Amino acid sequence: MKCPYCGCDDTQVKDSRPTEDNTAIRRRRICTACGGRFTTFERVQLRELTVIKRSGRRVPFDRDKLMQSVRIATRKRPVEPERLERMVSGIVRQLESSGESDIKASDIGNLVMEGLKVIDDVAYVRFASVYKNFREAKDFEALLDEMSGPDAAAFDET
């Protein structure tokens, strides 16, 4: 592991323990060259995943990119970071345990939408608007009608 301060490859692990949710190993490290201390989080990767984009292009799966898109959707919303971390870890575990190494981007998007729908409605709409490429206000209306369901429509009429 490279030192983030001096770039040296010679670092030593001083402490190692699982994270609270047991999805990673937290390691405290020290650089033998500059003495800098830093923390790394290491995750077990069950298999190499490849994302198949809508264009047909294939790219390596990037957990950090997934996490970033979820953070953007939940920006300025009252959602705990730990809850997002658990959601993303759950999605990654689902993908890794699916038995497939090639995953369609649309499948990942659907899993994120399912998770966000439970966590925060506003974040769900934000993500869906980008994921489904909304172009007009009626696209939002259709999604909101879908979210409220037939029971809400009947209630509004009274």
Q: 24 versus 59: which is more confidently predicted?
A: 59
Mean pLDDT over residues 55-69, rounded?
93
Q: pLDDT tens for residues 88-98?
A: 999 998 998 88
What DSSP designation does 101 have?
A: S
The pLDDT of 78-100, averaged and rounded, is 90
The percentage of residues in the chain with a pLDDT greater than 70, rounded to a whole number, is 88
Higher pLDDT, 154 or 102: 102
Q: Rounded to whole angstroms, how far apart are CA atoms 29 and 1?
A: 9
Check pLDDT > 50 for residue 36: yes
Q: How far apart are the first and last CA of the chain?
A: 64
Q: What is the pLDDT of residues 46-60, one digit of tens each?
A: 568 999 998 999 999
The stretch 84-109 carries a mean pLDDT of 90
Share of the chain above pLDDT 90, in %: 53
3-state secondary structure labels for all residues of 63-125: HHHHHHHHHHHCCCCCCCHHHHHHHHHHHHHHHHHCCCCEEEHHHHHHHHHHHHHHHCHHHHH
Count other C-beta atoms under 10 Å from residue 13's C-beta.
Answer: 12
pLDDT value of residue 91:
93
Average pLDDT along the chain: 85
| Higher pLDDT among residues 67 and 48, named by residue | 67
| Band (156; pLDDT cuts 50, 70, 90) | very low
pLDDT beyond 50 at 85: yes
Residue 104 confidence (pLDDT) above 90:
yes
CA atoms within 13 A on the CB side of 47: 14
